[in-house]
Structure 1
């Protein structure tokens, strides 16, 4: 007789509905640097576990949580695991004179891992590949305009606004297979889809004109993306001593070319964003090229309750090409970049019956990222540094028959800052990730009725 945990299945179906309703609305707080490329690329940053220990995990398997950074590590998930998570950002933007604080919550990931055989585990998941959300406002007095109000400034000013929203989502099917002692390989195929909207608006305001209502002239560009991306990984475990294990992992995500359907429209709007006129000036099918990514990681653990790990990520941003009717012929908006992360976790005593806090998993880490963005003035260096920490908190009574289900509440926190050197603009952020995972031993045959 087989056992399948019904609440487990019900929660999975409910989470699918929630993720489906959120996937088109996912946003983060205002991030001016997401205007470049296809936005802030989240691919390769990992799940809540990884986000709590420096966004690392290419070389550190987890038996109770899904590792979506390296498909080769799926093999170590020998139980059915379902995981869903959300994240929230609070950001403070400053340029030395002005400050802006805002934030928003977003869908983070949804994944299900199922052991297919003794050597093979497969996983299906949904997560964001990139996110776009920026807003820039610039006021410029019109030279030569009269100063009839006598306030020392021209009466006529131009207000320029630049907005962006949307992002690209990733549905992935991943597989991890054990090849030999300590050696596992992984392969993942992803379907990428999403829409990115960008607007450039200009409003001319004459302070001396009290009759006419100001209107915005808006260029609205909407681009829909679809395409396929392939990635592969490898991992090797070596027993160095009875209490020390070395792990080495690597992942490669190939360059992907997406189909891009772009529509450009000229709109006339009132100041409350009401559209009073719209003309589509261009509707074109084209392509966008996403950069390849390479990751290498090392880990040390005692095969019991602690692990220390580090990752190096190289993103060939110069591969990126913006929209073009010809493949690979679009604008280059990014340069190459890298990220270094270190972190670790410890569970004092997962089987403790006397202390709840000994059963909690504690994580800490940090990362440094360097990238290049291409502006009209040439390439500019973008740096991002952050400290992270987090916990996995066991829920309920732990793993017990007859359902053999374990639930974990996973948390991740990050505090950091990114800036482009020479611009004076700093983006300080505090990020919270919250997830819940269920692991269950399906298809267990009862020995007694």
Structure 2
């Protein structure tokens, strides 16, 4: 039954994969857009930490966590977000809905194999600039970079495992700029389209040790070396009618050189401890060498990049996972905090992102499957230096179907 539900659900939702706008942030104009969190809804609910390994929860942050999985697992996650964007002179609201990941992990005795698809970055903004009383400028963008990944992990001992995955990055980013003058019948429009491709790798280590029978301590390390993302660029200029219809009067395609971006290397270290099946607490530190990063076009002179860092802290508690009388005693209650320097500098101001998170892990009766929720409230950016600040509330949802596959039964 679980197999049929998982197959039907994944087939349905893959039809709409990444068709919806994944961000509404004006900061997604820079670089390759708003870089998305790689982990699952469960990890996000704990501030983005890499938690300890268990047998039924998929961990996509570190490939070394594929081998502790003991049941074949399919997981799907999505997010609805709303936010308010404020400058010193104006404010606006925006909403977005996005599919976060579709992934599967298939275990063997000492190994685990994983594959899936998820967005790497999202572009989605619509900005109207009317600082010049005679000139109205409208900027918009859409698209992003997606990734298909395949990974494997091997348990060298019950406490220690290693893993790696390869990711094929692909996507399309379109940006548009319209200049219109008051009293002038026509406006100009510039459209830039970039089709991206590239490959990158992740390597991971995981160690987890029990002591005093019921307690444990864990640590994990993930490293991604520098890689290259290649863009095939196209640009068109057009004379259009002023107004919402954008009727093209004249259009011309321009030759634009293809470009490359160095995707920065990063390292993520995790440490935590807890009591088996009752509670856990942990922290992550991620450092990304973004100082050599850039934009698809070298025409933006008020932007540069620096080393990005993210600090995450969180955990969970389960009141009584063996309770037969109270469902809520078996619910996983999660919470966390995240503080991040995104690595983006605009007008000599570093763009920071902070958030608090909370979530629930809801077991599905009679199965090892579960449903997970996350509530995330945060802010990004600043209203100083002519910039904007975003306040956002994200609600995430995931389903994880877990069952024993590919195992020969002794009795039918």
Distance in 1 of aligned mates of 2:297 and 2:237: 20
**Structure-2 residue corresponding to 1:317:** 290
**Structure-1 residue corresponding to 2:127:** 136
1:261 aligns with 2:256: no
CA contact 2:23–2:123 (8 Å) conserved in 1: no
In the TM superposition, 1:280-295 aligns within 5 A as 280-295=253-268
**Structure-2 residue corresponding to 1:35:** 29
Q: How does the TM-score come out when normalised to structure 2?
A: 0.93
Of 239-248 and 310-319, the range deviating more from structure 2? 239-248
User: Displaced runs of 4+ in structure 1, greater than 6 A?
Assistant: none
**Structure-2 residue corresponding to 1:221:** 192
**Structure-2 residue corresponding to 1:110:** 102
Shift of 1:280: 0.7
**Structure-2 residue corresponding to 1:298:** 271
Give the 3-state SS of the residue equivalent to 1:33 in structure 2. helix
**Structure-2 residue corresponding to 1:84:** 76
Q: Which consecutive unaligned segments of at least 5 residues does structure 1 have?
A: 143-156, 207-211, 399-405
CA contact 2:168–2:199 (8 Å) conserved in 1: yes
Give the 3-state SS of the residue equivalent to 1:412 in structure 2. strand
Distance in 2 of aligned mates of 1:8 and 1:265: 48
CA contact 1:338–1:370 (8 Å) conserved in 2: yes
Of 438-447 and 220-229, the range deviating more from structure 2? 438-447
**Structure-2 residue corresponding to 1:233:** 204
In the TM superposition, 1:44-443 aligns within 5 A as 44=38, 46-57=39-50, 59-115=51-107, 117-141=108-132, 157-206=134-183, 214-270=185-241, 271-276=243-248, 277-323=250-296, 333-375=304-346, 377=347, 379-398=348-367, 406-420=368-382, 422-423=384-385, 425-443=388-406
Shift of 1:312: 0.4
Shift of 1:383: 1.2
Shift of 1:421: 6.5
User: Larger C-alpha radius of gyration, 1 or 2?
Assistant: 1
* Per-residue Cα deviation, 1:127-172 (whole angstroms, up to 9, x for no partner): 1101111222111446xxxxxxxxxxxxxx1101111111100111
Distance in 1 of aligned mates of 2:192 and 2:72: 43
Distance in 2 of aligned mates of 1:13 and 1:125: 16
Distance in 1 of aligned mates of 2:231 and 2:297: 9
Shift of 1:103: 0.4
* Per-residue Cα deviation, 1:68-100 (whole angstroms, up to 9, x for no partner): 001101111111001011101101111133221
**Structure-1 residue corresponding to 2:10:** 15
Shift of 1:28: 3.3
Q: Which consecutive unaligned segments of at least 5 residues does structure 2 have?
A: none
Of 365-374 and 98-107, the range deviating more from structure 2? 365-374
CA contact 2:208–2:216 (8 Å) conserved in 1: yes
Number of aligned residues: 407
Distance in 2 of aligned mates of 1:331 and 1:203: 24
Give the 3-state SS of the residue equivalent to 1:22 in structure 2. coil
* Per-residue Cα deviation, 1:362-403 (whole angstroms, up to 9, x for no partner): 10001101134244x4x32111111000011112323xxxxx
* Per-residue Cα deviation, 1:394-447 (whole angstroms, up to 9, x for no partner): 12323xxxxxxx321111110011113623622100001101111001134444
- Over 3 Å counting, the alpha-carbon distance change for 1:290 and 1:26 in structure 2 is farther
Distance in 1 of aligned mates of 2:378 and 2:37: 19
- Over 3 Å counting, the alpha-carbon distance change for 1:335 and 1:242 in structure 2 is same
Distance in 2 of aligned mates of 1:351 and 1:388: 26
Distance in 1 of aligned mates of 2:288 and 2:11: 31
Give the 3-state SS of the residue equivalent to 1:318 in structure 2. coil
CA contact 2:383–2:389 (8 Å) conserved in 1: no
**Structure-2 residue corresponding to 1:145:** none
Distance in 1 of aligned mates of 2:327 and 2:251: 61
CA contact 1:36–1:334 (8 Å) conserved in 2: no
